[in-house]
């Protein structure tokens, strides 16, 4: 039987089917990081899961195989410090490959903080990204949001080599369309990760100014998987890098805000084509905004608080490009919490949310599902605890919200959900938040997965 794999970053990457995760798993100098990997079994048979951990040089550090298969349709969280040997658990920084003989998907949660549980101030940071399937790796990646001292934010770019030893090339673009700097990570070994910190980076050519808010194109002769951490000392926003195949002339963002329970949002859109394009965002409240002549590889930012949306508004957005494919990242931000998710170029009739909670160690979730088709549809949610929820007559371009903490799940519940649509493709986003804690960044977000 064919083996399916994932890779992971901890501040890293996970790759799936060969799956990767580029990230710092545990231990990052004076600000320790830990990671949890939530693996969902999308198959109809139990799945045995193996996780291989590679350090930043590409050397295999540890292999963990779960002795208990994940039931069909189930999910399980692997806390990285608990499955690494003691010799590695206090200092490991690298990536991982998650594999199974079944069809699986993964979400990685990154955590930083003080105290033995990494849950005390100062420095509480939370971020999330999805595992990357081997078929989703590519020789060119795009990162729509990369920043240096931009309102206190700096970027950490993490790229994992999914092939043979190769150079990894980073090219930086400002929003005026100019290529301003390059950086070459030389001779990156198979399974190793190149980690680029913009606040301390010395570029190979050019320079990156303080206040930079732009985009990055990453290339190599080898297939790559990547992710980005954008952080201040108090909040963290994490997203998956894009392959060209992820782009489209139409993108969908199911959850955007203006002063919605303290949250605002922005959408940053990158041109992944070879000619300039006009980018238009149409919101579910009827507001339309356009930025013209966005150059190849450059990005444009749409900031919802400045666009005329009503205070307290929550809605969805459809992004269109006049001439080329684009990709986009949505940022969600409050005074003390933040997260990112990726806008999608398409949907599916069935999607999966592998990590949902009700009062699970303080965390609750909200599932937002957007109709990305051309006709109205009914949306049904089937939870792993047997409960269900639905929304009827969801119009094209509109979203339905499902709040697990308002549903009848048992307190302390952790599970998954399968979401189906009756008539049109859908895509979804999950926000995880410890609502009661305001002493740090207690929020994660991730994109729902297609089976």
- Read off the CATH number of the domain in which 157 is found: 2.60.290.11
Are 239 and 254 within one domain?
Answer: no
Are 156 and 259 within one domain?
Answer: no
Domain that holds residue 70: 4-133
Percent of the chain, pLDDT > 90? 72
The residue written with tokens 């989703």 in the block is 136
Are 142 and 234 within one domain?
Answer: yes
The yes-or-no verdict on residue 305 having pLDDT over 90 is: yes
Report the 10 Å Cβ neighbour count for 42.
Answer: 22
Question: What pLDDT, in 10s, does the model give residues 211-240?
Answer: 999 999 999 999 999 999 999 988 999 999
Q: Which run of H or E residues covers position 88?
A: helix 86-89
Please, are residues 398 and 329 in contact by the beta-carbon 8 Å criterion?
no
* Domain limit, last residue, from 322, 342, 362: 342
Q: CA 111, CA 382: separation in Å to the nearest integer?
A: 29
Q: Which of 4-8, 184-188, 216-220 has the lowest mean pLDDT?
A: 4-8
Are 63 and 184 within one domain?
Answer: no
Q: Which of 84-98, 183-197, 320-334, 368-382 has the lowest mean pLDDT?
A: 84-98
Q: What is the pLDDT of residue 450?
A: 84
Domain count, the chain: 4
Please, are residues 282 and 302 in contact by the beta-carbon 8 Å criterion?
no
Are 8 and 103 within one domain?
Answer: yes
Q: How confident is the model at residue 29 (pLDDT cuts 50, 70, 90)?
A: very low
Model pTM score: 0.92
Who wins on pLDDT, 373 or 134?
373
Q: CA 262, CA 264: separation in Å to the nearest integer?
A: 7
Over residues 430-449, mean pLDDT:
93
Over residues 150-165, mean pLDDT:
94
Are 231 and 323 within one domain?
Answer: no
Are 100 and 139 within one domain?
Answer: no
Are 126 and 12 within one domain?
Answer: yes
Are 152 and 106 within one domain?
Answer: no
Q: Which of 26-30, 319-323, 341-345, 399-403 has the lowest mean pLDDT?
A: 26-30
- Read off the CATH number of the domain in which 421 is found: 2.60.290
Residue closest to 428 by CA, chosen among 351, 320, 355: 351
Please, are residues 184 and 308 in contact by the beta-carbon 8 Å criterion?
no
- Contacts of residue 68, Cβ cutoff 8 Å, sequence gap at least 6: none
Q: What is the pLDDT of residue 4?
A: 46
Q: What is the pLDDT of residue 21?
A: 53
Question: What pLDDT, in 10s, does the model give residues 250-264?
Answer: 999 999 999 999 999
Are 380 and 357 within one domain?
Answer: yes
* Domain limit, last residue, from 115, 133, 151: 133
Are 32 and 128 within one domain?
Answer: yes
Are 252 and 194 within one domain?
Answer: no
Q: What backbone phi and psi angles, to 5 degrees, belong to 305?
A: -65, -20
Q: What is the pLDDT of residue 2?
A: 41
Question: What pLDDT, in 10s, does the model give residues 101-148?
Answer: 998 888 888 888 777 777 778 788 899 888 888 888 999 999 999 999
Q: How confident is the model at residue 73 (pLDDT cuts 50, 70, 90)?
A: confident
Q: What backbone phi and psi angles, to 5 degrees, belong to 135?
A: -70, -15
The yes-or-no verdict on residue 298 having pLDDT over 60 is: yes
- Contacts of residue 207, Cβ cutoff 8 Å, sequence gap at least 6: 180, 181
- CB burial class (10 A; 0-12, 13-18, 19+) of residue 364? buried
* Domain limit, last residue, from 191, 214, 245: 245
């Amino acid at each position: 039987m064919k083996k399916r794999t994932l890779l992971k970053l901890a501040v890293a990457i996970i790759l799936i089917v060969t799956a990767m995760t580029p990230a710092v798993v545990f231990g990052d100098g004076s600000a320790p990081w830990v990671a949890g990997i939530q693996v969902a079994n999308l198959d109809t048979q139990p799945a045995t899961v193996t996780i291989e951990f590679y350090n930043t040089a590409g050397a295999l550090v540890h292999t963990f195989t779960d002795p208990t298969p994940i039931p069909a349709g189930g999910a399980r969280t692997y806390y990285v410090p608990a499955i690494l040997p003691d010799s590695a658990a206090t200092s490991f920084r690298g990536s991982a490959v998650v594999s199974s003989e079944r069809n699986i998907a993964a979400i990685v949660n990154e955590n930083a903080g003080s105290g033995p549980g990494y849950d005390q101030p100062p420095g509480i940071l939370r971020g999330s990204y999805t595992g990357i399937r081997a078929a989703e790796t590519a020789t060119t990646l795009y990162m729509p949001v990369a920043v240096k001292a931009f309102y206190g934010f700096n970027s950490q770019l993490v790229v994992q080599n999914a092939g043979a030893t190769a150079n990894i090339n980073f090219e930086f673009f400002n929003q005026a369309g100019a290529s301003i700097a390059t950086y070459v990570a030389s001779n990156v070994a198979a399974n190793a990760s190149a980690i680029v910190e913009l606040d301390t980076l010395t570029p190979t050519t050019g320079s990156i100014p303080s206040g930079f808010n732009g985009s990055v194109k990453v290339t190599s002769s080898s297939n790559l998987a990547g992710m980005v951490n954008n952080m201040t000392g108090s909040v963290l926003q994490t997203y998956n890098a894009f392959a060209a195949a992820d782009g489209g002339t139409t993108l969908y963002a199911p959850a955007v805000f203006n002063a919605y329970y303290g949250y605002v949002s922005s959408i940053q859109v990158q041109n992944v084509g070879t000619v300039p394009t006009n980018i238009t965002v149409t919101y579910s409240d009827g507001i339309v905004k356009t930025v013209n002549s966005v150059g190849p590889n450059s990005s444009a930012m749409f900031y919802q608080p400045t666009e005329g949306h009503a205070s307290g508004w929550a809605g969805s957005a459809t992004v269109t490009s006049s001439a080329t494919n684009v990709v986009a990242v949505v940022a969600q931000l409050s005074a003390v919490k933040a997260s990112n998710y990726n806008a999608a170029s398409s949907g599916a009739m069935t999607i999966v949310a592998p990590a949902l909670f009700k009062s699970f160690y303080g965390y609750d979730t909200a599932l937002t599902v957007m109709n990305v088709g051309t006709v109205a549809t009914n949306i049904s949610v089937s939870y792993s605890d047997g409960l269900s929820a639905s929304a009827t007559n969801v119009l094209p371009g509109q979203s339905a919200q499902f709040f697990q903490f308002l549903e009848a799940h048992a307190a302390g519940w952790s599970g998954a959900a399968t979401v189906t649509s009756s008539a049109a493709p859908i895509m979804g986003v999950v926000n995880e938040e410890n609502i009661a804690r305001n002493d740090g960044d207690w929020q994660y977000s991730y994109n729902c997965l297609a089976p």
